Structure 1
């Protein structure tokens, strides 16, 4: 396989998912849109890199160094770093100015690079040191909850914590769910009706923008296509 991915959910309210990947014999992949920011670490030819990668609002074709090993912590919606305004991170990444085989720089301090099993302990330390904070209302709203505050307050808090609007997050997560259903063999019309798209052209535009694939390509799972970045099941489909 060109990309060997492993991922797991997390019991930390600050962490959405933890993943790792190995690339072999692949030059490019399609990085699908995501509403979450990540801390990402990768090693290639003996050199270690670390970066904060923000939410991505469109699918992009990106280079993949052959033989590289990657590890990432995907943070929950509502979790942010006060020293890096979320709006600054959307569709961009900030690489650590210095990284070694065991350490990297974040907020001007040196941190030990965590591993796949110890991600939650690392994040707990970030929380204790005030590097990472969380607005639980945002995570609840994104999951479909009904907050006891006004709509404008919700909009401000979602934007402050994620850099995105609530509508953008829903569109991205709905496209992810559609891609999973199509990959499992669901018919485009069924996916259109199930997820509340207006019609199949609406579904097609969403898939092209956020996933970089057509419904036919997802259904066929053509091995000749660029591999997709991590695509995992979510608990519930997003609203329209």
Structure 2
């Protein structure tokens, strides 16, 4: 069973998931990174460019999902170094720092509360988020072309690509595709017909939507929506 709620950290979401059986539902690309708690371990989920299928026996997971572009500053690691990976926080931080954070999470009322407290602490240490990254995400999520967005932000193509790699784990064109996929999923899950979903999400047509969903998730839209 999966549940989520908004976190006290702006734009973040706290979630829990206890799969009904081994593995679990695929985690789809969304432009985000997560700090995870699993059986006393702290891990980091890097940005995905394809669907990730959990492995292993059914066991509870908790996490805090950071809005796109914010986690690298909090964790102190460029996003592209974690692309399509799940890694132990101990591989990124000193043993002492991980031990202190693990103790903070374990001492909280529950893992979700502990992760939320940890995220607030990390955000305080990191300082205010880069407003340019927020503007970039907002523009691409609104369907603005990458070139036009770069001009509006006053960045050259190479500079934009370099900033995007560090913040999101991939270039702005891939980020735009991932955000468009998420827009389409929201519409399709709300019952919007596929052709209308494609048009409203920013695809050329329904066939374009179908290809992009398959390429990014390895599944058809019907399978993702539970229709077989």
SS at match of 2:119: helix
* Number of residue-to-residue matches in the alignment: 206
The answer on whether the counterparts of 1:30 and 1:60 sit within 8 Å (CA) in structure 2 is yes
SS at match of 1:18: strand
1:235 aligned partner? none
Structure 1: segments with no counterpart, 5+ residues: 99-104, 226-240
Paired with 2:212 and 2:47, the residues of 1 have a C-alpha distance of 17
Paired with 1:148 and 1:184, the residues of 2 have a C-alpha distance of 33
The structure with more helix, counted as a fraction of residues: 2
After superposition, what is the alpha-carbon deviation per residue over 1:119-141, rounded to whole angstroms, capped at 9, x for unaligned? 443222223444x8732211221
Structure 2 vs 1, CA of residues 127 and 205 (structure 1 numbering), >3 Å: closer, same or farther?
same
Structure 2 vs 1, CA of residues 191 and 128 (structure 1 numbering), >3 Å: closer, same or farther?
closer
37, 47, 55: which one pairs with 1:55? 47
1:237 aligned partner? none
The answer on whether the counterparts of 1:36 and 1:162 sit within 8 Å (CA) in structure 2 is yes
The TM-score with structure 1 as length reference comes to 0.73
1:69 aligned partner? 60
After superposition, what is the alpha-carbon deviation per residue over 1:39-96, rounded to whole angstroms, capped at 9, x for unaligned? 11112xxxx2221110010113332522x11111111223214642221101112114
The answer on whether the counterparts of 2:50 and 2:216 sit within 8 Å (CA) in structure 1 is yes
2:150 equivalent to 1:150: no
SS at match of 2:113: coil
| Alignment RMSD | 2.7
126, 130, 135: which one pairs with 1:135? 130
Structure 2 vs 1, CA of residues 30 and 16 (structure 1 numbering), >3 Å: closer, same or farther?
same
1:84 aligned partner? 77
2:217 equivalent to 1:211: yes
SS at match of 2:37: strand
Structure 2 vs 1, CA of residues 22 and 151 (structure 1 numbering), >3 Å: closer, same or farther?
same
81, 87, 91: which one pairs with 1:94? 87
Paired with 2:136 and 2:175, the residues of 1 have a C-alpha distance of 11
166, 172, 177: which one pairs with 1:166? 172
The answer on whether the counterparts of 1:197 and 1:203 sit within 8 Å (CA) in structure 2 is yes
